[in-house]
């Protein structure tokens, strides 16, 4: 083995310029791919954390109340029992968040908009939600507005308070401090309305925020004409997003054991859900149990695009490195034909010769690849620590964050290393087989 290593390194040293050029190329390609993979992973994490915080958790259990066949309310009574069932069933549970989630009409200054998910929240119970939201500057929603942030999201705990997203504030032509009217039917199906005070205007974060608004939980209880301990949704926050599927199964099983009727997830818009539920013959109280992937089906395309982008990137990097390695491997084996002829004449087996060639390519590709990966990891950490703020609306809308995040993904590193090893081995074997096909007696004739 030592001999094989000596042979591989000596040949690399002999062609130092070519070796350095290729090594630099491989290291640079690896470094860039790791930085891009870290960026992509950061976007995915931001999107998942942001969107799950907005819908309450990785799993949502939404109360559906049907007092009559065609009447549908996003409501449940006292959720204490269901909460206990979930807490007892889910092994990876962080905690359970209780919220209202109901469609309302917002009216102000002659304008009105329908908000499909008006969230009634208790700010003390929802720290994740407040963490992902950023206040918008007045210029973002008001013509001639100043570059200043007005309002205070922490005031959302006050009775009769609401926080709107910038697009909603713009459509309603309201600012912080203005009063707007929230309108919705009560459980008795009579009209109700309450006046609320805009305490904050938040940055838009994509399509998802256009159908969400945040109000004080007690205010929504008053609007719906239900007791204060009532709610419409339990958001199940998990320690690890990877355990979503398992936790879904645990919740469904726990609910079945406790005789709490559940409904499967409905992957569709809120108004479509209502139409489907109205057509169902049952009456009473049931719960839709859905994962964040079901709830955020409209943003899943972003995750899919990023996933395919990552695969495409890996393919390009592998193609570039593979072409370089294969090319060098062919040149190396051609140059080493006399050496191979001597080694073969001295009795070295074909396999060992092939191993020697593979070692040379591995040292070149994998060794320098590791250096590139390490540099890429360091650069990603550095960029992440800089907390670069982006002004790109497209990026903010699709990532639900205005700060660029670079998160190292070990899966990307392992994939890249595996691909590098495979490509260098294939390159070495292809070149090696060609050189090994030359008879030792012919090969020796190539000696200068």
Partner 1 sequence: MKVSSLLTFIGMLLVAASASAQLSPQQMSAMLKKIDDVMTVPSDYQVAYYMQQTDSDGEEKVWQVMTFRRDQEGSLMVIANKPHTEAGKGYLRAGQNLWFYDPSTGKWERRGEDRSFFARSSRRRDFDVWRLHDEYDPTYVAKEKVGGVDVHRLKLTLKKTVTWESDFPSWEIWVNSDTGLPVKVDQFAESGKLMRSVFYPKWQTKKHPKTGKDLVMPQETRIFDQVDKGTRLHLITREMSFDPLAPNMFSKAWLEAKSR
CA 114/CA 176 separation, integer angstroms: 19
Nearest CA to 160 out of 130, 182, 127 is that of 182
Distance of closest approach, residue 170 Cβ to partner 1, in angstroms: 16
Identify which of 44, 31, 89 has the alpha carbon closest to the alpha carbon of residue 413: 31
The runs of H, that is alpha helices, within 346-409 are 350-362, 368-386, 393-399
Q: How far is the CB of 192 from partner 1 (least distance, A)?
A: 4
Nearer to partner 1, 191 or 387 (CB): 191
Q: Whose Cβ is closer to partner 1: residue 110's or residue 144's?
A: 110
- The CB-of-279 to partner 1 minimum distance in angstroms stands at 9
CB of 291 to partner 1, least distance (A): 29
Task: Dig out the tokens for 72 from the structure.
Answer: 């549908």
- Residues near partner 1 (CB under 8 A) are 68, 70-71, 107, 109-110, 112, 181, 183-186, 188-195, 222-223, 225, 275, 278
Query: Closest approach of Cβ 143 to partner 1, in Å?
Result: 16
Cα–Cα distance, 97 to 52 (Å, whole number)? 12
161-165/76-78 β-pairing: unpaired
- CA dist 382 and 344 (Å) reads 51
| CB nearer partner 1, residue 175 or residue 402 | 175
The answer to whether the beta carbons of residues 422 and 230 sit under 8 Å apart is no
At residue 161, φ and ψ (nearest 5 deg) are -115, 155
Closer CB to partner 1, 107 or 149, in the complex: 107
For the chain, the first-to-last Cα distance in angstroms comes to: 27
Residues whose CB falls within 8 Å of the CB of residue 40, separated by 6 or more in sequence, listed in order: 306, 309, 310, 313, 409
Identity of the residue, 281 or 347, whose beta carbon is nearer to partner 1 in the bound complex: 281
Measured from the CB atom, the residue of 2 and 188 that comes closer to partner 1 is 188
| CB of residue 74 to partner 1, shortest distance in Å | 14
């Amino acid at each position: 083995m030592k001999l094989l290593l000596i042979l591989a390194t000596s040949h690399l040293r002999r062609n130092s310029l070519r070796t350095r050029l290729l090594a630099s190329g491989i290291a640079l390609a690896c470094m860039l791919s790791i930085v891009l993979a870290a960026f992509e992973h950061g976007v995915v994490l931001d999107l998942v954390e942001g969107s799950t915080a907005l819908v309450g958790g990785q799993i949502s259990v939404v109360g559906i109340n049907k007092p009559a066949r065609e009447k549908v309310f996003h409501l449940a009574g006292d959720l204490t029992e269901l909460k206990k069932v979930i807490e007892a069933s889910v092994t990876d549970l962080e905690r359970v968040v209780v919220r209202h989630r109901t469609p309302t009409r917002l009216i102000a200054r002659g304008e009105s908009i329908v908000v499909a998910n008006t969230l009634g929240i208790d700010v003390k119970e929802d720290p994740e939600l407040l963490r992902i939201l950023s206040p918008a500057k007045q210029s973002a929603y008001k013509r001639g507005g100043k570059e200043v942030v007005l309002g205070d999201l922490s005031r959302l705990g006050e009775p009769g308070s609401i926080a709107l997203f910038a697009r909603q504030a713009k459509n309603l032509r309201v600012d912080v401090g203005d009063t707007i009217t929230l309108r919705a039917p009560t459980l008795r199906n009579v009209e109700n309305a309450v006046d609320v005070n805009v305490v904050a205007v938040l940055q838009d974060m994509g399509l998802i925020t256009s159908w969400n608004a945040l109000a004080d939980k007690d205010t929504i209880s008053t609007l719906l004409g239900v007791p204060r301990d009532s709610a419409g949704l339990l958001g199940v926050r998990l320690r690890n997003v990877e355990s979503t599927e398992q936790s879904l199964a645990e919740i469904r099983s726990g609910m079945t054991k406790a005789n709490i009727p559940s409904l499967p997830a409905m992957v569709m818009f809120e108004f479509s859900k209502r139409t489907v539920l109205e057509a169902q013959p049952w009456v009473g109280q049931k719960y839709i149990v859905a994962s964040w992937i079901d709830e955020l089906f409209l943003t899943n395309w972003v995750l899919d695009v990023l996933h395919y982008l990552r695969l495409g990137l890996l393919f390009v990097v592998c193609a570039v490195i593979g072409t370089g390695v294969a090319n060098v491997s062919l040149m190396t084996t051609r140059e080493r034909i006399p050496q191979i002829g001597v080694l073969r004449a001295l009795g070295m087996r074909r396999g060992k010769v092939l191993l020697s060639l593979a070692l040379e390519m591995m040292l070149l590709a994998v060794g320098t690849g590791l250096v590139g990966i390490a540099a890429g990891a360091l650069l990603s950490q550095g960029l992440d620590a800089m907390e670069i703020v982006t002004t790109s609306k497209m990026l903010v809308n699709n990532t639900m964050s205005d700060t660029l995040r670079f998160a190292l993904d070990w899966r990307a590193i392992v994939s890249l290393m595996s691909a590098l090893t495979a490509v260098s081995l294939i390159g070495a074997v292809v070149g090696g087989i060609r050189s090994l096909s030359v008879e030792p007696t012919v090969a020796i004739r190539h000696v200068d």
